[in-house]
A = this chain, B = another copy of it.
């Protein structure tokens, strides 16, 4: 972590001043918001841009033949182009706006999975996945008679790739779904190995980038995946917007998911034909302003620089792990800082995570407690919940210090 680097440090005070929530005082103190893996705060640039959009460029998109509608369409489609560039995708046709990350994954499960899978096929997820990248695959396997296989992990929460052969022995591997970064323990998954293995078996790959997209540069071309899902609310964008990227050929070959306005080419009583990409998968009035807001968030992240954000979070994670290692009664889950994102999950010997989080709240420290929508991972560790601190561009080492100090108070309370 003290290696010499050409990446200049973030100007955190300046960044912080872009986020109105940090002007408020919580019990007299600035908020130590350590729950960005759950959802991020929003900068002024996004909020003001959003209001301006509603005030002077709002109408329904695509179908309007007047000035406001043209502005709205330009804003909405401009966001699609920003998202395309952000992901290094070939074409805006491959960028589908959804409600959230969960819907992006469900789109693939429903529109690809239900139609393509059958007995003898194997659908693979991992024990570390968020429920949104686990339950849809479990469900489509059950509905179609395919096998559902789950890649296990070791005690560090790192995937056990030795299990891959046995999984391949269970049938024809058709789909492999995994996240880039675990949201509950922060481990970074071995993407290349998983994709290499999936390709060997001719399987379609689905990557859950919900925890990666806000924090690191992504490039779908070099990743070599088939589908990638992300969610806006974790990356400074409004709630209510997610993205599915997919290879054009695959998306073209798929049935649609939701049906209705905008996604059709022609409708008669006898027959309906589907619109071209991406409209085919965007039924009804889309989250217009939310997509526009995602575009503004991408602008913001790009201006600050994802590499600098990643380096900053790595510094905070390393620092937090050092400090927590020295704190009484704290056990941190997951791999060392080198192989994790900006997420630190832990348990405390004497108190339940909910009680921990509650007392931290009274110190103005906001963390999340629970299973983080990863019950299989919790089961893997033999626990039901953790307390989780997660970092973003507006956090500082002071936030970490406040976390550690507040933890001492928790221990004192439950002593």
Within 8 A of B (CB), among A231-265: 231, 233, 238-242, 258-262, 264
* Contacting residues, chain B, for A233 (C-beta < 8 A): 60, 285, 288
Is the pair B285, A102 in contact by a Cβ cutoff of 8 Å? yes
With an 8 Å Cβ cutoff, the count of chain A residues facing the other chain is 90
Determine which of B231, B260, B361 lies in contact with A285 in the assembled complex, contact meaning CB atoms within 8 Å. B231
Do residues B272 and A138 form an inter-chain contact, with CB atoms below 8 A? yes
Per-residue interface assignment for chain A, residues 365 to 386, with 1 indicating a CB less than 8 Å from any chain B CB and 0 otherwise: 1111110010110010000000
Known: A102-B260, A259-B136. A21 touches B285 (CB 8 A): no
Contact: B54 with A42, CB < 8 Å? yes
Taking a contact as CB atoms under 8 Å apart, the answer to whether A35 and B260 are in contact is: no
Please tell me if A165 contacts chain B, counting CB pairs below 8 Å: no
Which residue of chain B is the closest to A125 with respect to CB atoms?
Answer: B269
By the criterion CB–CB under 8 Å, are B283 and A103 in contact? yes
Contact with B along A263-300 (1 / 0, CB 8 A): 01011110010000000000111111110000000000
**A59 surroundings in chain B (CB, below 8 A):** 35, 38-39, 366
Interface string of A52-76 (1 = CB under 8 A from B): 0011101110011111110000000
Q: Is the CB of B103 within 8 A of A63?
A: no
B-facing mask of A27-39, CB < 8 A → 1, else 0? Answer: 0000101010011
* Distance (whole angstroms) from the CB of A371 to the closest CB of chain B: 9
Given contacts A103-B283, A260-B130, A268-B376, contact A64 B135 (CB under 8 A): no
Residues of B within 8 A of A367 (CB): 66
Interface residues of A in 96-147 (CB under 8 A from B): 98-103, 105-106, 109-110, 127, 130-136, 138-139
Chain B min CB distance to A151 (Å): 11
Do B39 and A139 have beta carbons less than 8 Å apart? no
With A24-B56, A103-B258, A261-B130 known to touch, is A69 a contact of B366 (CB < 8 Å)? yes
The 6 closest A-B pairs by CB, nearest first: A102-B284, A132-B260, A240-B287, A240-B240, A261-B373, A102-B260
Given contacts A63-B370, A64-B368, A109-B259, 16 further A-B contacts (CB under 8 A): A20-B56, A21-B58, A41-B58, A42-B55, A65-B357, A99-B287, A102-B283, A106-B260, A106-B283, A132-B260, A135-B267, A238-B289, A239-B286, A239-B290, A266-B375, A268-B375
Q: Could you list some 17 contacts between A and B, CB below 8 A?
A: A38-B64, A47-B54, A102-B260, A102-B261, A102-B285, A103-B258, A106-B260, A131-B261, A132-B259, A132-B284, A136-B260, A231-B284, A231-B285, A233-B288, A240-B241, A262-B373, A264-B375
